[in-house]
Every structure is written in structure tokens, then in C-alpha cells.
Structure 1
């Protein structure tokens, strides 16, 4: 049976970019629908990405702290055990709460949720297929927010049994004894942290010569030291050749940093080599929409595709695959459709790694400034010299500030340390309003706080010299 409805705006995909775009569209008075092929809203981030990963990171952080730090705080625990099943159940409860919140927001904003797979018939109509039902719907504008899926490498086929992605790793039935992680980027190091903290023997095989290689190299070096202290075996400049599911375990073959063949066997192999834009089944061939060599949808500065009434946001287009980037782009597109003049500075979208200590970064890296031939000053302050960090037994890491020598403009800020994910918000604000390093050290910082490390780093970058080092 076929039916047809007409909307002002249809958003395809209900991840962070999609649901934020739909809410903003409804707020501006547009008749809005959101299409989602899965049973729950929220996309990868809510269901099998950001939210459940952070839930497990928090749980394992508590467990690890109880083992390694409680005694120093005067807290003696006679016996302690890990209930892995409850840890996974709590993660699932957190996800369910977030999904429930999204359902409420859709109802509150009168957004119609259309379940099924969307396929463009042309630039004005889509088919939504849900089992045996096909609904044809039309709209003035469409926003593609279909996100991304985990990718793999030659010789490694993800079977979701022993050769898994982060998705499967978040719902394992029992704690494994060992795990090989292919990839030392954001997902790889976060998942390594989760499992290493609960006693899993974790090995990271990374092709590059640094962890988190897209971020400032000093961050990767420091993170390497911290994770190694937690017992994670980190192998850099290693090229994986294949992964074989043996039934009860996995054998991964690789070339080491000297190009010698080697292999390792573990209970699971987690593939964390990045993600690729997801456009399967969208029917882009029925439109003028084009994709680039990496399969991402091409857009202009307004995030319009080759079809003027169809926009694309988030992981499905170029740029870092970050939930908050997708959110900003969702609002940007809707307000653009509305005739407003919104703006996004993609250089000021922070990146965060939720290991412990956390890693956060915004703006240019030192490597980028060197490649550009730009002059810069460095202000670097260790958390070991922070009274608040010492009191909390969180002295690993540092704040690194890069500034322009002539005017003191802040070019980039890179943090590895306690609460870095929260601390990075201040540099984002300062860079947005183009303040100088002097502006930022002249303001008052509460004492004792982790944020004081920023003040000291600004002082050093300006040439004043730190007050607490």
C-alpha cells in the first residue's frame, strides 16, 4: 500500500546532526519530518558511539580508581569484584534514557518520525521503505544526515563475532582476557582504556608513528606514556596484513616497525581504523548529488549539494567526524534555509579524546604551524605543577598554548590532563572572540582549579614566565 505526505523539511537520519536540525526547523515553524531506519532515534552517537562509550569509560574509571588510588586516599576495601554484566547493563540503561529523551523532544516539537530507509526518487520525493510498506513523501528541502559506518583495511574482514568494531565491543557478553586493537586513533585509544582498566590484556597496533596522529604530536607522546603505565602494549609503525577468526580467538598478522613479519593471537580483534560516510541505499544516482573520492557527499560553503534544495551535514560530508560538528551544521543549514546568515568557524570545533586523562584540542597544531612557515610562541605548563591536580592525584599531562609572537593571538590550545574536555571550552571562546594571551592571563582564575594551568600556559607563551613553576 502506498501513501504520500508533503513536508517543508525532511531530515534523513536521526543522529546528533539530524535531530538537532529537525528541532531547529520545527522551532522556526516548518512542517518537519525525520526519517530513521533503525527502531531507536539518536544514530551512532546515542546508541553505539559517544554515549555508551562514555558510560563504560566512566564505569571503568571508577573501578580502576578503586584499585589504584583509594588506598592512598585512606579508603580500604577488603574485597572487590567486577560485575561486567552490570557494567554493560548500566551502559544500556544510559542509552535508553537518552533515546527516551529524544522521543520526547520529537513529540514536544511536533516532528513526525518516519521509520524506514529513505531513497531519493528525485530531488523532491523519497520512498521510505519499512519492511513491506513503502511510503512516498515529498518536501521543499531535504537534509541528509546519514552519518558514517566503521571502515576496515585490506585483509581484515569484520565478522562481528571475533573481528569486531567498537559497536560490538560495547555489548560483549563477558569480559575478554585479551584484545588486539587495530588503530591508535580516538576510538582505538578510548576502547583500549575501557578494557585495560578492567584487566584485559590490550595491544594496540598503529600504522602511524604516533597515537592520535591527527592531533598535536606532543599529545600523542604523552598519551602513549600514560596508556603504557596502565599496561597497554602500544606498537607504532606497524602495518596489519590480516586477521583470522579461529573460532575461539583471532590471529592478527602484521609487519613490525622494521618490516619484519609477526603475529599475535587474542580473544578479540577490534578494528578502529576510522569511519566512512554512509550513503548506501540513498538513491543519490536519482539526483544530481555527487560524492568525492572518499564517498562523502560534495557540498558548497552553504552545505548545499548539487541539488539546491538538498543539504548534507555531519559525517557524510568532509571534515572531522564529530557529533558537535554535525549539531552546528544542522542548525546552520536550517537557519540558512530560513534566510538567516549563520556562520560556522570549522577551525574552532574542538576535538576530544575521553581517555583518562582526557585529551582536547582546538585550532592549529604545532606541526601545522611549522608546515605553514608561521612564527609562534609555545606556552607549556604541566599538571604536575598544579596544586589542584596534585591534590586529586591527577598530575599527568599538560596544557600547551600556541600564540602569535607579534599580537599574542591564540593560534591553538592542546590539553592532556584531568577534565581537558571541559577546559577546552574556554580556549574556544577566547579564540572565537580573538583575545590575546595577555587578555587570558590577566583575568582571574579560581584557586585551586585545573583551569589555572591555562593561565600559566598563557603567561609562558606571552613571555611573562609562569608564576607557579
Structure 2
């Protein structure tokens, strides 16, 4: 029986970061992982492979639509799906092997297998039981099931199956207009599929700023995605390798069907804690199955912590990473901290969409006096040169103090641009602070400065 200061269960972004940080702090650390490779859902069947396909298909879009405008003439490239899959798999391999290297570098033991917690202070992996002064549960999440819809990962697929289809479909139905559905829908639309997104709510991406929602949906429609909103999916039926999706419109209860070669079920994710033995341990969970924790990521059982998608909050890899670092620091008697008010979210379509902090709707609901500074990428020289002038930057600031309360970007490199505002918010900056900061020209980031100027006397280039 091996003995450790910390055993982390799960090697996704939260788990592997927690393990590395614990090891850096001098704690003898092990990480339990049952997959053949480290990295969890994110690196193996989530964030990383989906971004590879998004990148590849965006290059195809550029070749088909913009190369000729720049004087790059020639036959448009054809799609070798097997090679694109091989490229995606190579990207996965580079990243997962990178985590394995970091484990060896930091002297972290990889306990291969699926872990259970028979009692506090012990983790069982296979036939072996290991002692641990502290246990961090970082088991992540799983695909949420939808009543009446059976996933076979061939015709009706989850996000995992959507990454490895045998061939791009001609017709695709996406159930759910959230991040996963819109990203993967974009991939296959660029590959020529007729994509219809069916969403239960009346808007796409429900937590997003309302103005961004509307602009985003219009841009996706221009790219060929169709939307059926306010629709409740009743069932899917597979016949002769094809699927039929039945749904009801909530406004009038009318019944409709859609035929497709492939159906992607993208209705969200649920915490994955099956088999850990939490109930017998007395670890408290919510009605939805999330593990309850206090402000220091401690569960109701001494010595057991939980982070990431297994706990409440946004299901984001970087939120899990922050919690992993913080939990390790708490265990090492340091001060772990996560600022949940400054956690950015990004959708990696084209254009990208990114946000941080409060939306206009939230501020109005809270009765907070605020001002909004907005700048369109149409006024940005770099964006116009790169055929990327769709979208805008919007900064929300307190009406009296000018302190930045939130920001919302739809446009080129939005996922990178948002971090300038994140840093500003961490330092309690005012919009004027951004407005007075020199930005290199010509860059997309000038649009952020212009939006900050719009919170004051007004932007220069609009």
C-alpha cells in the first residue's frame, strides 16, 4: 500500500493542474486516471480536438471565400477527411503526451485505472488501495442525456462521436444551441453540411449578453446554419442509417420532424461521480448531482476536496484549472484563491465570441447604474484588411466610478482579446485606464481601446 500527501482522481485540466501544483509545493502526489492517455475529456475528446477541426475547416473557408480576393488564385482545396482526422489525432497525442512528460518531470505517480474511495484517506485503484492524507475529486462531467433520444455514436452522436464521424454528413441536426452545438455545427457547415440547430429556449447561448446573441445568430445564419428556436425535441428514430428528429414548437404545441444523416446531441453536461462511493462516504451532493464544497473546495468529509465540473459553477476547463491550483495551495497551508467574477468564456466559431463579468441584462436586474461603450470592428483597420470586420467590442462600466463590470466581444481573436479586460478587472481598473493605455497599430486590440473610449467622450474611429 503506497502512501501519499495528495491523490487526485481524474487527470483533466482541473486534475492534472492540481497534481502538478501539489507536487510543486513539495507534496507527494499521485493522480488516478483510467483512460489510456492523460488529459481527461478536454484534451482527448473535447476542447483540443474540436479546436483542431475548427482550425482546419476555417482554413478551408478562407480558401473558398477569401483567397481569390487577395490575389491567391487557384483551385480550391478538396477535403481529405481521413487526413483531417489524422491531424486532429496528432494534436491530441502531442497534448496528452505533454501532460505525461509533466507528470514525470514533477515526480507524480500515475495510478492507472478507475478510482473509488472506500473510506476517507484511502483510494482504491483496481486491486490496490493507497493511503492519502488528502483526496481531490476532479472527475469532470459526462454528456447529459435527453429523454426519447438514444445515442449510438454513429448516427445519433454526442460531442465525442461528432469528432470522429466516418464521413462529413450532408444533413445534420444539432440539438442544443450552446457552445458545443454551435462549434461542431460550424465545423460541418464549413464542410458542406446542411446544419439545422434545434433549441428548447427562444435564444441561442442563453447566458450570453442579449445584443451579442442576436448578432451572433445573424452571422451564423449567413454561414448557412438554420435555427429552430423554442422547440422541444420529443424523439429520434434511426432507419436505414438515417435519423428523423421529432419536435414540438412550444408556442403552439405543433409537431414537426427533421431528417438528417447525423444528429448531434449537445444539450449540456452533468457531473460525473459514478462509482466513487460518495453516498456511503457521506459526501454531500446537490439535487443535480454536483458535489457540495465550501469556500476552500472542501467537501463535507474531512480530507476530501472537489473541483471542476464535478462541482457547481461554469463547466469550463480554465475554471477547473484555477480551482485545482487553489485546492492544492489550501492543502499545502497556503492561500488558494479563485475570483469567480472574472472567469472568461469563449466560443471558438468564426467570428469568436468571448465574455467576462456581467451582462447588460444582469446589471439591469441588479438595479446597477452603468454605461456601455461599444466599438464595431468595421472601424478597425486590421480587421478590414483581414476580412474579419464582423462584430464589436462592448465594455460595461459603473456609471459613477467608471470601474469595468463586464465585457462582451464578438469578432476576430475575441478569445484572446478578452484577457486584456480580465487583467484590468482583476486590478479594479476603470474604462478610462484602458482608454489611456497605448495600443499598437494596426491590431485587433485597438477595438478594445476604442470601446473603452466610448465609455467616456467617445471613440476616435467611429
Q: Structures share a fold, TM > 0.5?
A: yes
**1:342 maps to 2:336:** yes
1:424-469, Cα deviation, whole Å (9 max, x unpaired): 010000000001011110111111111111111111122x011101
> Displaced runs of 4+ in structure 1, greater than 3 A?
none
1:114-137, Cα deviation, whole Å (9 max, x unpaired): 1111111111112112xxxx1111
**1:192 maps to 2:177:** no
Q: TM-score, normalised by structure 2?
A: 0.98
**1:386 maps to 2:386:** no
Residue of structure 2 in register with 1:316 after alignment? 310
**1:417 maps to 2:414:** no
| Counterparts of 1:202 and 1:79, CA distance in 2 | 22
When structure 1 is superposed on structure 2, of 173-182 and 313-322 the one drifting more is 173-182
1:8-58, Cα deviation, whole Å (9 max, x unpaired): 100000000100110111111111100001111100000000000000000
- Does the 8 Å contact 1:120/1:286 carry over to 2? no
Residue 162 (structure 1) shift = 1.2
**1:305 maps to 2:331:** no
Residue of structure 1 in register with 2:114 after alignment? 117
> Which among 56, 60, 66 is matched to residue 57 of structure 2?
60
- Does the 8 Å contact 1:360/1:414 carry over to 2? yes
Structure 2 stretches of 5 or more lacking a match? Answer: none
- Does the 8 Å contact 1:12/1:34 carry over to 2? yes
| Counterparts of 1:164 and 1:93, CA distance in 2 | 22
Structure 2 SS opposite 1:18: helix
1:320-367, Cα deviation, whole Å (9 max, x unpaired): 000000000000001011111122111101000000100000000111
Structure 1 SS opposite 2:408: strand
> Which among 440, 461, 465 is matched to residue 434 of structure 2?
440
Residue 156 (structure 1) shift = 1.3
> Which among 10, 15, 27 is matched to residue 12 of structure 2?
15
| Counterparts of 2:199 and 2:378, CA distance in 1 | 29
Residue of structure 2 in register with 1:274 after alignment? 268
| Counterparts of 2:56 and 2:212, CA distance in 1 | 24
When structure 1 is superposed on structure 2, of 357-366 and 338-347 the one drifting more is 338-347
> Which among 83, 100, 103 is matched to residue 100 of structure 2?
103
CA RMSD between the two structures: 1.0
| Counterparts of 1:114 and 1:438, CA distance in 2 | 51
Residue of structure 2 in register with 1:239 after alignment? 232
**1:140 maps to 2:133:** yes
Matches within 5 A, 1:69-468: 69-129=66-126, 134-256=127-249, 257-462=251-456, 464-468=457-461
Aligned residues: 461
Residue 159 (structure 1) shift = 2.0
Q: TM-score, normalised by structure 1?
A: 0.97
